[in-house]
Amino acid sequence: MKKSSFVAVVVMVMVALTAGVWTGCESAGNTDGVSISPSGVTLGVGATNGASSVVFTALVHDSLALPLTWSVVNASMGTIVSASGSNATYMAYAGKTGNNVITVQDQYDNKGSAVVTQQ
């Protein structure tokens, strides 16, 4: 094989591979966001007032990019104790009453939120 033919083949292979990489890294278009289920929940936070934790699920409207980032607005009221895939468990702290907002964000910056009322 001549050197010029070999170079031509190498260039063609590189162009083909590069084209495959570019098409595999497309951005997510037409994403409509994420919502959380349940969108609102009431928890009893006293010693015997019922549930003190709840599992939230992120619902996809178009395209969800894992991993998700879960957060709470008021960390003194409760926290996300575990998160896996599209689910997260929020645990309310005993004796802390009021409303707390749970937020989820995917890798495309789509966000959703839910409200936890602690009584």
**Token pair of 68 as six digits:** 């998700």
Element (H or E) spanning 96, and its range? none
Ordered by start, the domain boundaries in the chain are: 34-118
Q: How far apart are CA 91 and CA 51, in angstroms?
A: 9
Beta strands in the chain (DSSP E): 34-37, 40-43, 53-60, 69-72, 78-84, 87-92, 98-105, 111-118
Q: Which architecture characterizes domain 34-118 according to CATH? A: Sandwich (2.60)
The percent of the chain in helix, strand and coil, each rounded to the nearest 5, is 20, 40, 40
pTM of the entire predicted model:
0.69
DSSP state of 28: P
Per-residue pLDDT of the chain (119 residues; tens, 9 = 90+): 565 565 555 555 555 544 444 434 444 444 467 899 999 999 988 655 556 899 999 987 666 678 999 999 999 999 999 999 899 999 999 989 999 999 999 988 889 999 999 99
Confidence (pLDDT) at 24: 43
